[in-house]
Structure 1
Amino acid sequence: MGRADERRARQRGARRAKPKRGGSGRLFTWKKLLGALVLVGALGVGTFIVLYLLVDVPEGNAEASEQSNVYTYADGSLIARDGTVNREIVDISRVPKEIQRAFVAAENKTFYQDNGVDLRGTTRALLSTLRGDKQGGSTITQQYVKNYYLSQEQTVTRKAKELIIALKVDQQKSKDEILAGYLNTSYFGRGAYGVQAAAQAYYGTDVEDLTVEQGAYLAALLQAPSSYDWAVASEGTRKTVLERWNYVLDNMVEMKWLDGGERQGMKFDEPGAPKPNPGLDGQAGYLIQAAEAELAAAGVDEQLLAARGWNIKLNIDKKKQQQLEKAVEQTLLDELDPEKRKVDGHVQPGAVSVDPATGKVLAMYGGRDFVKHYINNATRQDYQPASTFKPIILAAALDTGAETQDGAPILPTTVYDGTSERPVEGSDTPFAPPNEDDVDYGPVSVQKAMNSSVNSVFAQMAVDVGLERTKQSAIELGLDAEAGGFDVKPAMSLGVMGASPLDMAAVYATLDNHGEKVTPRIIASAERDGQEVELPDPIGDQVVERETADTVTSVLQGVVNDGTASGIRSERLNFAGKTGTSDDNKSAWFAGYTPELVTTVGLFGEAEGGKQVTLSGAGGGGRVNGGGYPAEIWSAYHDRVLGDGTAAEFDLVVDDRLAETPPPSRSPDASDEPDPTTSAPSAPPDTTTPPPPTTSSPPPATSSPPPPDTSSPAVTLPVPEGEPDRPGRDGERTRGTG
């Protein structure tokens, strides 16, 4: 062997002996990784093929089969069975082409081109289901399959079946048949199943007569039928509805189904007043409506709820419910005569009664009759709570340690200037609210200002606390942040936002519960097919200090002892409360509570078409004040349900420095209140100088505030849209004495 051959042999040997870079190189090569992916993909495809062969299109399950939802009182006795299915099947030929396209534009723009499924959307939905969340992503075909062939449960198995059946249905049926099935099986709210029932429920017309604007609303509605119902939606939700409506129309333009110029001229067509299902007359329909709203808020799918088969027990105490109904009927309705006085037909009462220790809604009055007036007056948020908002301002002041403009702490003994139309100080927005009947109270303590509901004092106090902080406190105590008119302006102090009796019951129950948040709950339990809905705890965190809540309660006892609610003062009950009467007398309120029960009563002036009108003249009297019918209803109800036992005492923890002792009980004296039939007096009803603070208390805001400059022109408040120019005249006296 030559040298060259030996050298080549050594090189070959070296190459053979060269160590490997690592053991993983052989185990995880790109070829093996690719092979594994191919294998997994093949297994997936194989599994899908097997499932495709094994899963057949089932017979249409009759979610069409008629079931009922059973609603019972707390004691198990029956309230109602809700089982009437409002549906009329229509052929696709009856649905105008532009209405069909509105639904396609809203739910599935590729409907006419796809094979019945959206793999990307379905994958997202499957992953979401595995995480325990709810996620959309279904095509119209898949939604039809879910509605007609399967169930509403969100499981991986059901999703997989939905995918396969949708593919087969797309092969077996035309797009028109699938779209017709979808339109006839979908739930639109208001008890309406299918597009024909929806057209009647929302616009009082047949489907073939719907306009594009109306069809776009019905298409938008399917995303959240109850929440998007224009008649009961909050201001914030209405904005969302309009965004969804615009989205549908814009998609139609994008798909060349609607002319862009025609679309620009379109305006939203508000749906008409709801027409409830028969058989839910009296208070039953209101209770069911409130319960369904609570379930929806707890995350129960509306389609699942509408599928029937539920057993729902309410917290409603049957005896208390009956007594609340009697109190409204005998105290108010029996005195009204719509044939004699037109205004009597405009009076809409609503009330809620809550156990502050448990949060249970024990009684609810929604209106005269659910089949005659669909809107629940106990839960509606479109009327102002007026001066029932004032205790919230005081609670915010006490809880934050707020000070007056002069740097003095705000306490019940603090003295403010109660001059009517006094411009507030420290606000970027001018505001000079008049007191009731333009009464000038002069130097007045916070306690007396609450007793007499002095607007000028609480307008200044809200500014002293800070308007943002005042709103935050209101929300923490129980008001809805999305309620209409809840703007951060000084006018907020007069309760110009929207609120319901249920909202105000939450606020006052939280005060009664020593500052622990109470979220009233009407449902005790809800069960279907052995599965019970998990509901949130109605008792929450401490949102204001106990001392704050108890001090407000102490102050509100003064309203009953020597204030605007003194007409219902009782020797048998210990209670606190606040009256409220909105501008132009469109609403009148009393929110009151004993240690064991909180009840709010509201009267609302509503003419035909839902227009807000004055209550003045109802029952043959003058102005309807919170101390009149609302307080009298409250008193009649509480006497019936609590009056036979020993009066419970409030367990209050109040710093001695914070409490101004309420005046001793005395018989109401009409001479102490201005007579509304005469001109406004130039002096306050009670000119007695308020008692000075105790020696241990900090000094009041001012011992003698200077009167406003009467030579200056009155400051006019910019008020929320739709409100009168003079906000917040607060008619707070007992009916018969003003």
Structure 2
Amino acid sequence: MPPRNPGEERTTQMPPVNRPTQREPELITHREPDDEFLMAGVADDDDEYYDDEPELTEEEERRLRKKKIWKRVRIGAFVAIGLMILGPVIAIAVAYPLVEWPRPNEIADAQDKTITLLYSDGSEMGKITSPGQNRTMLTYEEIPDNVKNAVMAAEDANFYDNPGFDAKAIVRAVWIQATGGSSGGSGLTQQYIKKATGNEDPTLTRKFTELVKAYKMSNESDHNTILTAYLNTVYFGRGANGFKAASQVYYNKPMKDLTPSEAALISGMIQTPSWSEDEEYAKKRWEFVMGQMLQKKWISQADYDARQFPQPLPFEQTQPAGLDGPLARVSQQVQNEIDSELVGLTMEKAQKVGVTVHTTIDPKMQQAAVDAVNSVMDGQDAELRTSLSAIEPQSGAVKAYYPGKDGLKGIDYAKGTIQEAGSSFKPFDLVAALKMGKGIGDTYDASPRKIAGVEIRNAGNTTCGKQCPIKQAMKESLNTVFYDMVAGPEGTGTKAVADAAHAAGIPKIVRVGGQDKQTLVGEGGNPPTAGISIGADSAQVRPFDMASAFATFAARGIYRAPFFVTKIVGPTGDVLYQHVDQPVPAFDPVETKSRDIADNVTETLKDIPSGPIACASGRPCAGKTGTHELPGSVDQNSKAWMVGYTPQLSTSVWVGKDQGNVAIKNKQGNPIFGSGLPGLMWKKFMDTALAGAQKEPFPKPVPLGNFNPPRKSDPPSTPPSNQQPSNQQPSNTQPSNTQPSQTRPTKPSGCGQIICPPSGQPDPSEDPGTGGRNPGGG
């Protein structure tokens, strides 16, 4: 065995170097009973002995917790910011190759489709064509700088500085919407994408896709190309797609001849093109665009300071030839209705789709209206103007519309003018009185006298005694009775009359001459003066609305808004819009009470269409004539009316002149009354329109208040003023003591047309059966 080296000897008996010695554990069986308790005490003492960290106070613990919370918040915020930055970048990178932006030539080909109009029986009425149909695409060089600058000022002043979208505008729009405002935030490129695709849904998906397409469009084309595409395809209102068509429908001139101011007005319409005929809105947008152009130095300070609103040509004068005569106005009403909130469509979308519109116009009744006007007005003064509107009471459908013979070249005398209604307004006095608790048998002093300090007179040929029942006073159109009914010491008050008319169908706001006008109010928006009781003062209404209001009487107190469009159908037969009947009790929330009021009014109007204006073959008809006395005259009229109805049809006829304050005479040189030319046109139309229709009688009314007049042997009496339905209160409005003026105040400078609100105070009336004068409201 070889000798071993001493360094190789095993050292198992040696303890590990630097290894601490450990106490040999004791056997459990060797421990004393109290050892565990003693050891626990030692351990506690040791822990206390070696715990050199001071104990935290409550304030220090609270600070420590806050520190930890804010640390987590900071980390979460950094993560969220990172996702906000990287998330959209990643999403855009993924979506970018999957989307395509619309090419302008393809968009132009899809625009300007023809809209077909049908009569109520399904036969074709005509077509609406776009002003830009068959247009050629403009190049960038062909577009004047005035136009380019105006459009950028209106929609995206920093267009040439952004990559297809304006980040600042988007952030600003988000902030405005978050704080309760409304803003789109879309740059010009994004707007092009939105308009071209026709997708305007207020969703994040649509906005994101639109942004990606805009970004891609900016990368694949230049700003000049994008601006040109936009100007060739965007909708400007009035049926015009593209600025070339817009310059024609607003100013009837080529783009190169537009002034910066005119270009600014057209550009301002891009935001809400359906408001193109709202003059207040147009001025607001024009001012904004002009200010933006000044700020960008696209116009000089001198040009800005010298600016004047560039009034566009009337809508009617710039539309392409299509329907003519009264049907041209029907077409305009259809377009207005499509652009309204009622339908929920727009003409812009309708033109892109190429829809078929089913209208309410009955071809037989429409022709009857034309024939009635032409027949009666043949040989009459060429300056006389007239309108005829017919509405179906059970639906609100406009069955015939004759707003004048000149089509789109003249004034719409049905919905484009406001006129004093004369005695045709008196049924609304009666509604207010019935709601107050009176009845058609109640009597009033019919003698000429002062009422509330105003001298009121009647026709000299009245058959009514001093105490005259309301029903007879309505037939003879006695001013003293109705003035007393409203303005007397126990009267209804003027506001109650206005409220009754509004409930029946007279709108509170009407648009006349491009401006909104509040109806049936006094100066400064106060309650009307007592002249409203005889159709004077503020009793100015559109002829069309009188047909609608009397339709409420015919429908037994149920109001239905008048309409022209029953249905809109797409090119594949899909229904894009369908009219829904929305009946509303007019005179009382309880339908039976509203019905009873209307039936009692009808009872007073049934005997008025008589003699030469009685309906043919004994057909039951009801109605009211009216005249408006020429200011300063005692034997001449300036306006005349006949408004009447059967259960199937309500029709309003008006006659006047453009000047509004001149005498109207027939071809024999005699003054025109409601029972004259208007009554004859009304009768001829009603007889023809209803030929072959069932002769429906009016329902027998439920008597309200004192229904039957006192017998001649009974002493005359005035009904008590405190007789009221339990759910009605008399108006607290006190009638004005202002006497109706016999002269017409001076009109504003430059205003000599009938569309200017006339404010003279006549008080003519007439006996509809004899044509007798009633110088006090007719």
TM superposition score category, shorter chain reference: 0.7 to 0.9
Aligned residue for 1:480?
Answer: 507
SS in 1 for 2:109: coil
Q: Deviations over 1:281-313 (max 9, x none)?
A: 244333322222222222323321232411221
Aligned residue for 1:600?
Answer: 652
Instruction: Determine the C-alpha separation between the residues in 2 that align with 1:207 and 1:182.
Output: 15
Match of 1:58 among 96, 102, 115: 102
Equivalent positions of 1:207-218 (< 5 A) are 207-218=255-266
The AA in structure 2 aligned to 1:357 is Q
SS in 1 for 2:349: helix
Q: Deviations over 1:244-288 (max 9, x none)?
A: 333333444454445556545433343333323212124433332
Instruction: Determine the C-alpha separation between the residues in 2 that align with 1:690 and 1:175.
Output: 90
Match of 2:576 among 532, 540, 559: 532
Moved more, 88-97 or 47-56: 88-97
How much does 1:330 deviate?
2.5
Match of 1:323 among 365, 368, 389: 368
Equivalent positions of 1:628-647 (< 5 A) are 628-644=676-692, 647=695
Instruction: Determine the C-alpha separation between the residues in 1 that align with 2:503 and 2:256.
Output: 48
TM-score normalized by the length of structure 2: 0.72
Instruction: Determine the C-alpha separation between the residues in 2 that align with 1:593 and 1:121.
Output: 57
Equivalent positions of 1:329-478 (< 5 A) are 329-332=374-377, 335-336=378-379, 343-344=381-382, 346-368=383-405, 370=407, 373=409, 375-401=411-437, 413-416=442-445, 419=448, 422=450, 424=452, 445-455=469-479, 457-459=481-483, 461-463=485-487, 464-478=491-505
- Whether the 8 Å CA contact 2:239–2:347 is kept in 1: the answer is no
- Whether the 8 Å CA contact 1:92–1:180 is kept in 2: the answer is yes
- Whether the 8 Å CA contact 1:396–1:473 is kept in 2: the answer is yes
Aligned residue for 1:340?
Answer: none
SS in 2 for 1:380: coil
How much does 1:592 deviate?
0.5
Alpha carbon RMSD of aligned pairs, Å?
A: 4.6
The AA in structure 2 aligned to 1:589 is W
The AA in structure 2 aligned to 1:81 is K
Match of 2:334 among 291, 304, 320: 291
Aligned residue for 1:513?
Answer: 555
Equivalent positions of 1:615-634 (< 5 A) are 616-634=664-682
Match of 1:267 among 300, 308, 311: 308
Larger Rg: 2
Instruction: Determine the C-alpha separation between the residues in 2 that align with 1:382 and 1:101.
Output: 40
- Whether the 8 Å CA contact 2:673–2:771 is kept in 1: the answer is no
Q: Does 1:555 align with 2:596?
A: no
Aligned residue for 2:290?
Answer: 249
Aligned residue for 1:666?
Answer: none
- Whether the 8 Å CA contact 2:108–2:233 is kept in 1: the answer is no
Aligned residue for 1:706?
Answer: none
Cα 1:646–1:248, aligned 2, differ >3 Å: closer, same or farther? same
Aligned residue for 1:116?
Answer: 164
Match of 1:38 among 62, 82, 89: 82
Cα 1:453–1:190, aligned 2, differ >3 Å: closer, same or farther? farther
Instruction: Determine the C-alpha separation between the residues in 1 that align with 2:264 and 2:539.
Output: 30
Match of 1:313 among 358, 365, 381: 358
- Whether the 8 Å CA contact 1:356–1:597 is kept in 2: the answer is yes
Aligned residue for 1:665?
Answer: none
Instruction: Determine the C-alpha separation between the residues in 1 that align with 2:700 and 2:185.
Output: 54
SS in 2 for 1:192: coil
Instruction: Determine the C-alpha separation between the residues in 1 that align with 2:541 and 2:601.
Output: 20
Q: Deviations over 1:63-117 (max 9, x none)?
A: 5345221221222222223244435555555655445444333333443444332
How much does 1:644 deviate?
4.3
Q: Deviations over 1:697-716 (max 9, x none)?
A: 54899xxxxxxxxxx99887
Q: Percent identity?
A: 26
> Where does the alignment leave 5 or more consecutive residues of structure 2 unmatched?
1-19, 21-41, 511-516, 523-527, 589-593, 631-636, 724-738, 749-755, 773-778
Cα 1:213–1:631, aligned 2, differ >3 Å: closer, same or farther? farther
How much does 1:598 deviate?
1.2
Instruction: Determine the C-alpha separation between the residues in 2 that align with 1:289 and 1:121.
Output: 37
Q: Deviations over 1:630-668 (max 9, x none)?
A: 221221122123354553211143326443579xxxxxx
Aligned residue for 1:47?
Answer: 91
The AA in structure 1 aligned to 2:312 is P
How much does 1:508 deviate?
1.0
Q: Does 1:591 align with 2:643?
A: yes
Match of 1:194 among 242, 267, 272: 242
Instruction: Determine the C-alpha separation between the residues in 2 that align with 1:542 and 1:656.
Output: 17
Aligned residue for 1:709?
Answer: none
Instruction: Determine the C-alpha separation between the residues in 2 that align with 1:222 and 1:412.
Output: 59
Cα 1:13–1:213, aligned 2, differ >3 Å: closer, same or farther? closer
The AA in structure 2 aligned to 1:466 is G
> Where does the alignment leave 5 or more consecutive residues of structure 1 unmatched?
230-236, 338-342, 402-408, 426-430, 663-688, 702-711
Cα 1:94–1:56, aligned 2, differ >3 Å: closer, same or farther? closer
- Whether the 8 Å CA contact 2:444–2:481 is kept in 1: the answer is no
The AA in structure 2 aligned to 1:415 is Y
Cα 1:140–1:385, aligned 2, differ >3 Å: closer, same or farther? farther
Cα 1:252–1:416, aligned 2, differ >3 Å: closer, same or farther? farther
- Whether the 8 Å CA contact 2:147–2:263 is kept in 1: the answer is yes
Instruction: Determine the C-alpha separation between the residues in 2 that align with 1:713 and 1:508.
Output: 26
TM-score normalized by the length of structure 1: 0.76
Moved more, 459-468 or 597-606: 459-468
Instruction: Determine the C-alpha separation between the residues in 2 that align with 1:128 and 1:574.
Output: 60
Match of 2:348 among 303, 309, 330: 303
Cα 1:473–1:369, aligned 2, differ >3 Å: closer, same or farther? same
Instruction: Determine the C-alpha separation between the residues in 2 that align with 1:481 and 1:26.
Output: 59
Aligned residue for 2:186?
Answer: 138
- Whether the 8 Å CA contact 1:554–1:659 is kept in 2: the answer is no
Instruction: Determine the C-alpha separation between the residues in 1 that align with 2:86 and 2:182.
Output: 29
Count of residues paired in the alignment: 660
- Whether the 8 Å CA contact 1:423–1:715 is kept in 2: the answer is no
SS in 2 for 1:601: strand
Match of 2:128 among 65, 72, 82: 82
Instruction: Determine the C-alpha separation between the residues in 2 that align with 1:82 and 1:47.
Output: 44
Cα 1:727–1:174, aligned 2, differ >3 Å: closer, same or farther? farther
SS in 1 for 2:369: helix
Cα 1:551–1:281, aligned 2, differ >3 Å: closer, same or farther? same
Cα 1:49–1:540, aligned 2, differ >3 Å: closer, same or farther? farther
Aligned residue for 2:731?
Answer: none
Instruction: Determine the C-alpha separation between the residues in 2 that align with 1:474 and 1:508.
Output: 10
Q: Does 1:69 align with 2:115?
A: yes
How much does 1:507 deviate?
0.8
SS in 2 for 1:479: coil
Q: Does 1:239 align with 2:280?
A: yes
Cα 1:7–1:485, aligned 2, differ >3 Å: closer, same or farther? closer
Cα 1:46–1:78, aligned 2, differ >3 Å: closer, same or farther? same
- Whether the 8 Å CA contact 2:164–2:215 is kept in 1: the answer is yes
